[in-house]
């Protein structure tokens, strides 16, 4: 299924102009410092997304790291090992630390002495919420959450719409299959309203996650065939090229089975989420409307409060 809006105007700023005016290099592809003008828009997006929060949703804000054990249990390592970043450290052993520093000062590397810690970099905002929900027992009414965190995925790129370090905001629903399916579909139906509020051209299309390996490719095809994932695509690099800035995901009973989340009838809970790629949306806004926020449409500025 594809839903599209007509291209009513060319992009106002090129990716190179957005990068030059709003970001500063940190000498690693996909990792940048950000200007105040850019962060003002990110803050505005945060306020706007807050106005969309489902009624009754609980708010959680998570750090940019999560338990390695949590990610392993969730199945992320099996599905996306190529994207995962592990936090490594020299630890507290004085000899290990001293040897590593001495080796570096002699022209070698200290990193070989670092060991994996119990932490990994958060690959998505929603992973910590499932064990939290599981501890509450059987689910009678759909649980709704508003979660966010800084995230990391190891995919270096010079494209401004594909960062390694980025912000993600998600609305998550946990409950019975029918209600969860309705939740996801209702948010897909709201996509044109969201794009309209932001003055962004968009299309919606079926998609799959970047699973790893041959087996992962089969899972990706299953995702598409069963309409489990859709994305809102917005032009960022050119009117002809579109970037996934939001996703609408149905996980079926994967997390219910993984974390022992059941509904009151004893069946595994289903989960779904709508994810806002905050940095991609911000870049899309600058590309569409220009790098000077003062020149943006008044209606868009009003929605963002900028």
- Do 89 and 114 touch, CB atoms closer than 8 A? yes
Q: What is the pLDDT of residue 6?
A: 43
Residue 129: CB partners within 8 Å, gap ≥ 6? Answer: 60, 145, 147, 172
CA dist., res. 273 & res. 165, Å (int): 21
Here the tokens at position 18 are: 């957005």
Partners of residue 252 on adjacent β-strands = 271
Q: What is the pLDDT of residue 14?
A: 93
CA dist., res. 289 & res. 30, Å (int): 23
Of 163, 296, 300, 236, the residue nearest 17 (C-alpha): 236
Burial of 27 (0-12, 13-18, 19+ CB in 10 A): exposed
Q: Is the pTM of this model over 0.85?
A: yes
E-strand ranges in 224-267 read 229-238, 241-252
Here the tokens at position 290 are: 């220009």
Q: What is the pLDDT of residue 227?
A: 80
C-alpha triplet 38, 42, 43: angle, nearest 5° = 115
Residue 94: CB partners within 8 Å, gap ≥ 6? Answer: none
Average pLDDT of adjacent 10-residue blocks, the chain of 306 residues: 51 94 96 98 98 98 97 93 94 90 92 93 98 97 98 95 97 97 97 97 90 71 83 92 95 97 97 98 97 97 98
Q: What is the pLDDT of residue 185?
A: 96
For residue 195, the SS3 value is helix
Partners of residue 151 on adjacent β-strands = 166
Domain spans, the chain: 2-85+123-304, 88-121
CA dist., res. 289 & res. 200, Å (int): 9
Q: Does 2-85+123-304 carry CATH code 3.30.930.10? A: yes
Q: What is the pLDDT of residue 172?
A: 98
Q: What is the pLDDT of residue 218?
A: 67
In angstroms, the Cα distances linking 293 to 10, 37, 40, 217, 288 are 17, 8, 10, 41, 11
């Amino acid at each position: 299924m594809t839903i599209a809006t007509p291209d009513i105007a060319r992009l106002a700023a090129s990716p190179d102009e957005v990068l030059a005016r709003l970001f500063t290099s940190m000498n690693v592809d996909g990792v940048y410092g950000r200007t105040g003008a850019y962060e003002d828009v990110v803050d505005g997006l945060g306020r706007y997304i807050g106005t969309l929060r489902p009624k009754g949703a609980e708010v959680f804000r998570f750090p940019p790291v999560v338990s390695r054990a949590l990610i392993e249990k969730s199945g992320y390592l099996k599905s996306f090992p190529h994207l995962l970043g592990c936090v490594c450290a020299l630890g507290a052993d004085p000899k290990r630390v001293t040897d590593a520093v001495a080796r570096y000062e002699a022209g070698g590397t200290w990193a070989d002495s670092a060991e994996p810690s119990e932490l990994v970099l958060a690959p998505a905002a929603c992973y910590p919420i499932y064990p939290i929900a599981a501890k509450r027992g059987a689910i009678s009414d759909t649980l709704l959450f508003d979660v966010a965190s800084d995230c990391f995925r190891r995919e270096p790129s010079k494209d401004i719409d594909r960062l390694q370090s980025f912000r993600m905001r998600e609305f998550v629903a946990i409950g019975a299959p029918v209600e969860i399916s309705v939740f996801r579909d209702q948010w897909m139906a709201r996509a044109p309203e969201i794009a309209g509020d932001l003055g962004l051209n968009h299309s919606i299309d079926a998609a799959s996650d970047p699973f790893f390996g041959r087996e992962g490719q089969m899972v990706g095809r299953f995702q598409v065939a069963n309409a489990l994932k859709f994305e809102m695509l917005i032009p960022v690099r050119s009117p002809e090229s579109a970037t996934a800035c939001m996703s609408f995901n149905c996980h079926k009973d994967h997390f219910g089975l993984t974390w022992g989340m059941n509904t009151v009838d004893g069946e595994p809970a289903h989960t779904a989420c709508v994810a806002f790629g905050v940095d991609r949306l911000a870049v899309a806004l600058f590309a569409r409307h220009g790098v000077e926020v003062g020149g943006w449409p008044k209606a868009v500025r009003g929605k963002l409060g900028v």
